[in-house]
Structure 1
Amino acid sequence: MDKIGIILLNYNAYEDTKECIESLKAMTYPNYEIFVVDNDSQDDSADRLKQIKDIHFIESGRNGGFGYGNNIGIKAAIKLGCQKILLLNNDTTVEPDFLAILNQDLEDSRIGMIAPKILNYYDHNKIWALGGEINWPLFVAYNSLCDQEDHHQVIKKKVDFISGCCMLIRSEIFEEIGYLPEDYFMYFEDLDFCLQVSNKYELWVDSQAVIYHKVSAASGENSPFQLEWVNRSQFKFMKRYGPQRPKYTQYRCQLYFRKWIRIASYLMKFDYSRAHAIYKGIKKSSK
């Protein structure tokens, strides 16, 4: 039975992380290690998390973003002999059998990475993600069936994109392909990583494995903070992968136009903070 390293990234969210750990400890899959990486929390999260038993607690030393913090945990897990890595948002809870289901699926050598069905923590009848699709004209990925009712269909299929909220990955992939890109800080590093993995392996989703996600608990839905970093990372992704795509110039111009329309709409509502956040994100995307 493979040992699975579970990586949780914490930043100022002790209660969420604690609840996630408690749900993981109720899993039916027995052979796992939990690695909690604290990304330089500015509250008392680190001191409190150190008191939790049966976890590996690591302080990152600085808030280097999603990729940076997770990579620290991944490397620690691989060093401890974990054959598979589960990246899991700390603002989630899990069904007891979800990891056993995903681990069994990953016995298929074609599959490099797999994800569960992710339901909304606040409304278990709503799907947040069941894999995803890439929209190249907009240089973005969308979660499949997002905000749709859960009809409990059994869906097990190949997908284009898996959210970094939850992905089970073969450890050898990190040796073959590398670790998560760290230059995004947050958002789009999962999409970038999925593209790299899909060059050699298939990405799948299995609806029989279920977790629950506290949607936008980390950054706030449509907050200026989220808007800045989503746009910053989206344009960075576009500049990295766009030139190799057909109609790049056309799509690039259309994307800029859409962003300026959105900035104008916020300005018309006197919402200067959100308008400035989008502009700031685009301007800083090359850094």
Structure 2
Amino acid sequence: MPSLVAVVVAHDSAEALPACLAALAAEHVPAIVVDNASRDGSAALAQAAGAQVVRNLRNEGYGRANNIGVRVAERAAHILILNPDVELRPGAVDALLAASEAYPDAGLYAPRLVEPDGRFFYQPRSLLAPYLTNPKGRLALPEGDACAPFLSGACLMMRRELFLELGGFDENIFLFYEDDDLCRRVADAGQALIHVHGAMASHGRGRSSAPERGRIFRTRWHQAWSRAYVSRKYGLPDPSPVTLAVNGAKAVLSALAFRRSGRERYGGSAAGALAALRRRSALAREGLDP
């Protein structure tokens, strides 16, 4: 029984996948690549690299595709969820598995994610964190293993059994805040979230998918919609009215100034907030079954 199986969701990820899969192979971690209808040969590339490939006929979104991959990893004790633009550094897997033994009551473990500029990612607060609150977002980087209010979905390790018991990622979310939501449910189940300082991984941030027309609008749409969705889910104030008002005004000003980038960015946020207010689902926008 493998102690760990990696699940990598790909969507036009041919540029980033080779390094990600090579790093997993170097750590002797078998990989399942769930391909969200890529058009750039990502699935064939992953298969040639030795990964088990699940080919979705349409883009199912990040959380839904990860759930598919975890269900396929039937023999795994732990699952490692990571983006295609994440490369594990030597010893990262051993450090994560050692942490799971050192902190057996924890539910989620994440490595130190090193950004392209050399800094490491650590989010000091979360919209949904029910404990370890830090309302001003004061950043104090950990110097060792630490409990955290949030762990990035770019790279997470979890017991497969627990992931399935909690229902995996919320499948109503197409993109964004699915990791905040999972972190919240793990914490609500009484289990800690552990930043494993000795496990390191490089994060390409933004290199998971190739650029495509309309991507900025679509990204901002889902950010606004998902933030509203998880806020309502946990009884927090709905940010949609403010998001719509602020970004709608900025979108109009950008259009008047012929600034396409601003029009897409702010227009996407306004449209996502409006859709949330109208209770339109993200899945409906993407043509997926509700």
Check whether TM > 0.5.
yes
TM-score interval, normalised by the smaller of the two chains: 0.7 to 0.9
- Higher share of residues assigned strand: 1
What's the offset of the Cα at 1:63?
1.0
Superposed, which structure 2 residues align to 1:1-287 within 5 Å? 3-27=3-27, 30=28, 32-53=29-50, 55-77=51-73, 79=74, 81-107=75-101, 108-120=103-115, 122-124=116-118, 126-127=119-120, 129-130=121-122, 132-135=124-127, 154-200=143-189, 201-218=191-208, 223-242=216-235, 248=236, 251-252=237-238, 256-270=241-255, 271-285=262-276, 286=279, 287=281
Conserved 8 A contact 1:118-1:210: yes
Q: Relative to structure 1, is the Cα distance of residues 145 and 114 closer, same or farther in structure 2, using a 3 angstrom cutoff?
A: farther
Q: After superposition, give the CA deviation of every residue in 1:159-183 in whole Å (9 maximum; x if it has no partner).
A: 1211110110011202421211111
TM-score, length-scaled by structure 1: 0.82
Output the amino acid matched with 1:98. A
Conserved 8 A contact 1:117-1:131: no
Distance across 2 between alignment mates of 1:233 and 1:166: 20
Q: Relative to structure 1, is the Cα distance of residues 83 and 192 closer, same or farther in structure 2, using a 3 angstrom cutoff?
A: same
Q: After superposition, give the CA deviation of every residue in 1:38-72 in whole Å (9 maximum; x if it has no partner).
A: 1111232223332222x211112321100111111
What's the offset of the Cα at 1:199?
1.8
What's the offset of the Cα at 1:260?
1.7
Q: Give runs of ≥4 in structure 1 deviating > 6 Å.
A: none
Percent identity, please.
23
What's the offset of the Cα at 1:112?
1.0
SS in 2 for 1:106: helix
SS in 1 for 2:252: helix
Distance across 2 between alignment mates of 1:49 and 1:178: 27
Distance across 2 between alignment mates of 1:189 and 1:46: 24
Q: Relative to structure 1, is the Cα distance of residues 37 and 131 closer, same or farther in structure 2, using a 3 angstrom cutoff?
A: same
Structure 2 unaligned blocks of 5 or more? 256-261, 282-290
What's the offset of the Cα at 1:257?
2.3
TM-score, length-scaled by structure 2: 0.81
Distance across 1 between alignment mates of 2:11 and 2:107: 28
Alignment RMSD (CA, Å): 2.7
What's the offset of the Cα at 1:2?
5.5
Distance across 1 between alignment mates of 2:138 and 2:157: 20
Which is further off, 177-186 or 39-48? 39-48
SS in 2 for 1:117: strand
What's the offset of the Cα at 1:255?
5.8
What's the offset of the Cα at 1:13?
1.1
Distance across 2 between alignment mates of 1:161 and 1:136: 9
Distance across 2 between alignment mates of 1:136 and 1:189: 11
Count the aligned residue pairs.
Answer: 261
Distance across 2 between alignment mates of 1:208 and 1:130: 14
What's the offset of the Cα at 1:123?
1.7
